[in-house]
Amino acid sequence: MFQRRTIPFVAALVAAIAVAWSGSVRAQTPASIAGHWQGTRSATGGSGSDAFKIHNISFDLKQSGDELSGTYRCYAGKKANTECNNPVGNVTGGKIEGGKVTINVVAQPNNLQCTFNGSIATGRMKGDFTCYEGGGLQSNGVFNVHRKE
């Protein structure tokens, strides 16, 4: 008698745990930010000629789970007040976790290494960035980009 009641109870318990676990895994899978993003980065500090400059930027992001890759571009445009010394680059890594994003970029020709850390909300990413060249701080500031369809 005990076994007949226990087996269905255990089976129901295992099924409930499986459903709850699969729901929590789905909830942790990040929303896709793959695609084309463009906006500006504004240097609030740094050294050399890049201090206090505004550059137009774009990301073409690819996403696999929570990992990011893709390309980066810095260019003169309507909102820019200077040309970019390192206009093209690759997203060499990055991560999306919840509403937060980290994008690592290596831009050429000077091997500029930048990290963009920010938040994501409804087709927008914004936050701060830091760029190093030859081991020294080249610029830091804020960025604000939006998804382009």
Per-residue pLDDT of the chain (149 residues; tens, 9 = 90+): 545 555 555 555 445 554 444 443 334 455 789 999 999 999 987 665 556 789 999 999 999 999 999 999 999 877 777 788 899 999 999 999 989 999 999 999 999 999 999 999 989 999 999 999 988 988 899 999 999 87
Q: Report d(CA 92, CA 78) in Å as an integer.
A: 28
Domain 35-148 grouped into CATH 2.40.128.120: yes
Q: Report d(CA 30, CA 32) in Å as an integer.
A: 6
Tell me the whole-structure pTM to 2 decimals.
0.77
Question: How many C-alpha atoms does 93 have within 13 Å on its Cβ side?
Answer: 3
